Structure formats: C-alpha cells, structure tokens
Structure 1
Amino acid sequence: MLPDELVKLFKEAFGKEPICEDPSKGICISKENGYIVIRENGKVIAQFEDNEPDYGFILQYYAKKAGLFAPQDKYIEELLRSLFVNIIVLTEVEDKNGFSHSQRVAKLAEEFARYLGWDESNIQELRNHAFLHDVGKIAIEQLMLYSPTRLRTFEAHYEDHPTMGTIYLTIHESLWKYIPTVRHHHERWDGKGFPDKLKGEEIPYFARIIAILDYYDEVTNFVSADWDSEIKTPQQALKEIKSLAGTFFDPTIVEQFVNFMRDVYNINVQ
C-alpha cells in the first residue's frame, strides 16, 4: 500500500487515486518490498526509496512516463540526450568498423527488443537507455586526461561511474527516466553488485537487460581485468553469460538473450 502522503500528493496532482485496474497495462505506481515502484505494462521501469522528500520527484517521473509532459520538455530531452550521446561516443574507442562500445550496445539492444516483439516506442526507449548507460565514464575520462597514472586512476574510480552518471542526468528532469538504468546496470542478480547492492527484481528491468548486453560487448571487444586476460569469442561469451545466470544476471533474460543470439546471429552454445 502506498504511503498516505504520496497518495494525497498524487490525488492533488492528477485528480484521482493511484489505482491500477490492470497492473499488466499502462503506467502503475505501487509500494513493493519497501520501495516505491513504477511499472509500465507490468515491467518495472523505476524504483525509489520511500523517502517523503522525494515524492515530488517520483510524481514528476510518473507524469512523464504517463505522457503528462509538455512538448517543450520532449524537445529538451532529445537535445540533451543527443549531446550526451555525442560526448560518450567521442570518448570511446572505435572498432575496425568505426563503432564504439555504446553504439554497439545500443544496436544490440534495439535488435534484442525487436526479437522479443516489443512495440517500436519501447524498442527506441531501450536503445536510448543503452546509449546512455556509461554516461558516467565521461567524468573518469576527464580525470584520466589530467592524471600521470591514467590506468591506475581508471581502476580506482571504475565503480564510481554509475553514480557519476546519475549526477549528470539530474541536470534536467527530462533525463531522470534514464537514471535507474545508468545507476543500476552493474548491480548483480545475487545482490553483490554496485553501487546499491540491489538484488533480483529489485534491479530495474532495463538495467538487467543492459547488464548482459554490456558484458557481452565488453568481453568480445576488450581485454578486461575484471573478466579475463584475453578477448572472448562470441561463443565463449555466451557460455560465460549462461554460467553467470542466477548470480550476475537475470536467468530469464539470459535465456532470452541466448535464444536471440542463436536465432539472429547463428551463435550456438551448449
């Protein structure tokens, strides 16, 4: 049951009770496991700690997801998002085809969502979240630029980038919808990730998807001390993703992703 004060503010803002007749359709707000949760068509798209000072922010987020925003806000979102995406891509290393990590993850996200049968608006929404997932690394790149020990600086501050990304996206409320993905794409299914140790379905749905896509692209394109000392083949990466289901990754999404890679890219693993 939602807190009385949040219900009161909701009624004042929207002229109705925050009740979902069908939780599997539309935008719904509820309290689950101590968090204020917003669902879209049954899927968790955001969750917030139950702090009364944040209720205004939560209702603004709800209003935007429900389409209760001005056209000017949509224009500002597109402008700011494009600006961040351009900076992100410019600071990332290109592959032999001229694409960067975030571009590849965004492309994979779009293809995966389409494979799952999502409608076009949700496909593009996931794509936008994928483009921005590493926005916090801009801060680390700037820090490294002026550091004489760049690799050590990166290693020391790597776990800060979800928090830094969250800070960046607070510059305008039109970008707040991306915060759950940016902040939580390094959480783990078993609760041992960062920065907030969320576990299972506490982790926002888009963040759970991006976690898998991010890992796949990382290990098939970069040598990473976090994962291995050599670049993995797509088959090796998928095998590792399967082995990490239930600890690092959502088992259901892992199964869907493995099927997607088999059906779309003809990559098979046992």
Structure 2
Amino acid sequence: MLPEELVKLFKEAFGKEPICEDPSQGICILKENGYISVREKGRLIAQFEDNESDYGFVLQYYAKKAGLFTPQDKEIEELLRSLFVNIIVLTEVEDKNGFSHSQRVAKLAEEFARYLGWEESKVEELRNHAFLHDVGKIAIEQLMLYSPTRIRTFETHYEDHPTMGTIYLTIHESLWKYIPTVRHHHERWDGKGFPDKLKGEEIPYFARIIAILNYYDEVTNFVSADWDSEIKTPQQAVREIKNLAGTFFDPKLVEQFVRFVKDVHKVSIE
C-alpha cells in the first residue's frame, strides 16, 4: 500500500486515486520491498526510496511516463496556449461580428464535439486543438510584414505553416499534444496532402476533424486561393465537402458533419 501522504499528493496533482486497473497494460505506481516503484506493463522502470521529501520528484517522473501533467505543467500549458491563441487571433481578419477564423473554427469544434456526445473534457480538448491549428501562420505573417510583395510571400510559403507550427509547439512539452493536429490538418484522406502525405487513418483523428471545419469556415467567410475565387454559401460548402469525402476528407466524419450542420446550424441539405 502506498504511503498516505503520497496518495494525498497524487490525488491533488491528478484528480484521481493512484490505482492501476491492469498492471500488465498501464503505468503503475506502488510500494514494494520498502521502495516506491513505477512499473510499465508490469516491467520495473524506476524505483525510489520512500522519502516524503522526494514524493514531488516521484510524481513528476510518473506523470511524464503516464502522459499526465503536474499542476505546474498545466499552468505553463495554459499560459503558453493563451499566448499563442492571442497572437493568432490578432493576426487574423475579423468578421462582421468581431470573430477571427480560428475563433470560428474553435466554436464549430466545440459544437460538433457536443453534437457527437463527447464528455466535456474532450470537448474542451478539441476546442483547444482548433484554436491552435493555424499557429504556424504567425511565421508567415512575420515574413509578410517585411515583404514588398505580401500576397506572393503568403502563396509561396503557405504549405510551410504546419511545419512552422510544429516548431513553435516544441517550446514546452505540455504543448506537444497539439503537434499532430497542427502538423497534419492539411493532410488528405487519399494521401495527397501536406506536409507528410499521410493517408486515411494514418492522419490523427483531431486533424481529420479540423480539416473539415477549417474548410467549411474558410470557404464560407472569405475568398480562398486554395479552394475557389468566391465565397460559398453554407449549402454550397456542405455540397462540396460531400464531394470531397474519400479524397480530401474522412468519409465517416463527413457524414457526421453533414448531419451536424443540418441539425444544429439548420443548413438545408439537398
């Protein structure tokens, strides 16, 4: 049995009991032979002397191995994420209601996740991924700021923004969980996207969702050099998303999205 003080600190840090449901599969923390042990899939990966002064270090080690955050990590993540989101929103064009592209995509993500019946923590997670999906465009904006040919600069470097976003998010490990979405939201279901030519379910799930939401918001709010020379109506955008299912977009997610805009946004589907 783990020491009472360690259990208390664990619950304060992670909001749950230090119970390993299946020792052969997960990361376990336990007391054995007078030591605090950490086991991964039953294999001993670390062992610490049972000293209260070292419990903080033990929990930090456990958190990294288990993919959890300590309270300090959470604060750092929230601070860095908020900083990036503020910069992103400031560099984007506002619509008539004062919202930017990333804000609208984040709102769509939140609504879509709730429509799918996700628990609130997962809804928030997808929303945060949506807010950061275009973080790499900050680099392009900086290039354009000092360029006499701003549009040409944007067109030349547009496909770099997922890679640049990946670089930005390496600033702290608490942001690494957003990298798959940022890097891969322009991949295509048929493997012809960028930057890594991922195909089908090789593309991270959140990135596949954001790809659809990103397209829908982009073509219904401003002229896009990527897609068309005129703004589409929601009906036209949905029709095009259906046409792009299986080439650009995950067909199953397209079906879910079409039902979502019909039921929630009252977009008529022909």
- Which interval holds the TM-score relative to the shorter structure? 0.7 to 0.9
Tell me which of the two structures has the higher relative contact order, counting C-alpha pairs closer than 8 angstroms and 6 or more residues apart. 1
Describe the shift of the 1:60–1:189 C-alpha distance in structure 2 as closer, same or farther (beyond 3 A).
farther
- Alpha-carbon spacing, 1:231–1:120, altered in 2? closer, same or farther (3 Å): same
The residue that corresponds to 1:125 in the other structure is 125
Letter matched to residue 245 of structure 1: A
Alignment of 1:83-98 (within 5 A): 83-98=83-98
Verify the 8 A CA contact 1:223 1:231 in the aligned structure 2: yes
- The answer as to whether partners of 1:185 and 1:208 remain within 8 angstroms in 2 is yes
Contact in 2 for aligned 1:169/1:176 (Cα 8 Å)? yes
Mapped to 2, the partners of 1:16 and 1:174 lie a distance apart of: 21
Counterpart residue identity of residue 169, structure 1: L
Q: Which amino acid is 2:268 matched to?
A: N
2:270 paired with 1:267:
no
Give, in angstroms, the shift of residue 266 of structure 1: 1.0
Deviation by residue 1:193-212 (Cα, 9 ceiling, x = unmatched) = 00000000000000000000
TM-score by length of 1: 0.78
The 3 A distance-change label for structure 1 pair 11 and 197 is farther
**Superposition pairs for residues 27-42 of structure 1, below 5 Å?**
none
Give the conservation status (yes or no) of the 8 Å contact 2:63–2:70.
no
Is the CA contact (8 Å cut-off) linking 1:61 and 1:177 kept in structure 2? no
In structure 2, what is the equivalent of residue 27 of structure 1? none
The one of 66, 89, 98 equivalent to 1:63 is 66
Aligned to 2:11: none
Q: Identity percentage over the alignment?
A: 82
Aligned to 1:189: 189
Distance 1:259 1:268 in 2: 10
1:138 alignment partner, SS class: helix
2:41 is aligned to: 17
Distance 2:66 2:40 in 1: 13
Cα displacement (A) at 1:150 = 0.3
What aligned pairs does 1:1-270 form with structure 2 within 5 A after superposition? 14-17=38-41, 63-64=66-67, 67=68, 69-270=69-270
1:97-132 alpha-carbon deviations (Å, 9 max, x no partner): 000000000000000000000000000000000000
Aligned residues: 220
Residues 220 and 232 of structure 2 are in contact (CA less than 8 Å); yes or no, is this contact kept in structure 1? yes
Contact 1:181–1:207 (Cα < 8 Å) also in 2:
yes
RMSD, aligned CA: 2.0
How far apart are 1:63 and its partner, in Å? 2.7
Check the 8 A contact 1:189/1:247 in 2, yes or no. yes
Deviates more, 1:196-205 or 1:217-226: 217-226
TM-score between the two structures when normalised by the length of structure 2: 0.78
Following the alignment from structure 1 to structure 2, what is the Cα–Cα distance between the partners of residues 183 and 98? 27
Distance in structure 2 (CA, Å) of the matches to 1:192 and 1:139: 24
TM-fit CA distance, 1:226: 1.3
Choose 1 or 2 for highest CA Rg.
2
CA gap of 1:62–1:219, structure 2 versus 1, over 3 A, is farther
Kindly tell me: are residues 60 and 133 of structure 1, through their superposed partners in 2, closer, same or farther at Cα, counting changes over 3 Å? farther
1:224, distance to aligned residue in structure 2 (A): 1.1
Shift of 1:62: 6.3
